[in-house]
Amino acid sequence: MTSTGPQVLLALPFTGRWLARNSPARRVPSHGTDLLGSRYAIDFIGVDDRRRTARRRDWRTFLATEPPERFLAFGAPILAPAGGRVVAAHDGETDHAARRSQLALIPYAMGQAGRLRAGVAAIAGNHLIVELADGGGYVAVVHLRVGSLRVGVGDRVTVGQQVAECGNSGNSTQPHVHLQVSDRAEMASAQGVPMAFRRFREWPRGAREATVRESGLPAEGAVVEPLP
């Protein structure tokens, strides 16, 4: 079930093609929880024109972890999805190994409770929170690459400005960017706010042809590309 309340309209925070996962167009809460203001959050994973998240597969893909540098999203520029003022900036969390293997995902899933107990940084990793210029809420940009943040607390950002690079920090199994809007800056007590994105090209799962959307939420499993 999706929300019928007012939506905060954002720009997609990247260039090129990215795959939508955990979309609130499929279900709410999109990540299966309301914790940390994530009720309407969405994930994006960089892909190529064949929908691959990495160009290489080997034994590690099926049996072990993989280096994050193998993935197309890792190090990709992340752009401000809206104008506003940076009210939180956290850096210093490691970009850990990526996991596509089911064998590698099992012990990682078993550590989820421990990461929650460790607090926001263990879940969000390196992240930025921007207070929207129109007062409509706070947008969090999450799982950024260590050492890549280009802005700090108090800085003003404009839509499309590069603010960091995509990483694999925090609660992340492969490099991606997690985006959410909430009613306050403190993620530990935040409530999620509905959002939508302006002007993008969308290839729904299984479709060969793209549709241009002036605004909306990407479907689960759709590939999207921002438009000017």
Q: What is the pLDDT along the chain (228 residues), one digit of tens a residue?
A: 344 457 999 999 999 999 999 999 999 999 999 999 999 999 999 999 999 999 899 999 999 999 999 999 999 999 999 999 999 999 999 999 999 988 888 888 887 788 878 889 999 999 999 999 988 899 999 999 999 999 999 999 999 999 999 999 999 999 999 999 999 999 999 999 999 999 999 999 989 899 999 999 999 999 999 999
- Quote the pLDDT of residue 5: 56
Residues near 136 by Cβ (< 8 Å), separated by ≥ 6?
8, 181, 193
Length of the chain: 228
**Assigned token pair, 109:** 């899933």
Asked whether the whole model's pTM tops 0.85, one would answer yes
- Quote the pLDDT of residue 136: 87
Q: How far apart are the C-alpha atoms of 70 and 53, rounded to whole Å?
A: 9
- Quote the pLDDT of residue 102: 87
**Assigned token pair, 117:** 């107990």
Domain ranges of the chain: 8-208+222-226
Residue 9 phi, psi (nearest 5): -95, 125
- Quote the pLDDT of residue 200: 98
**Assigned token pair, 57:** 């597969």
Residue 99, number of CB atoms within 10 A of its CB: 22
- Quote the pLDDT of residue 193: 97
Contact 123, 169 (CB under 8 A): no
- Quote the pLDDT of residue 4: 45
CATH superfamily of 8-208+222-226: Glucose Permease (Domain IIA) (2.70.70.10)
- Quote the pLDDT of residue 2: 41
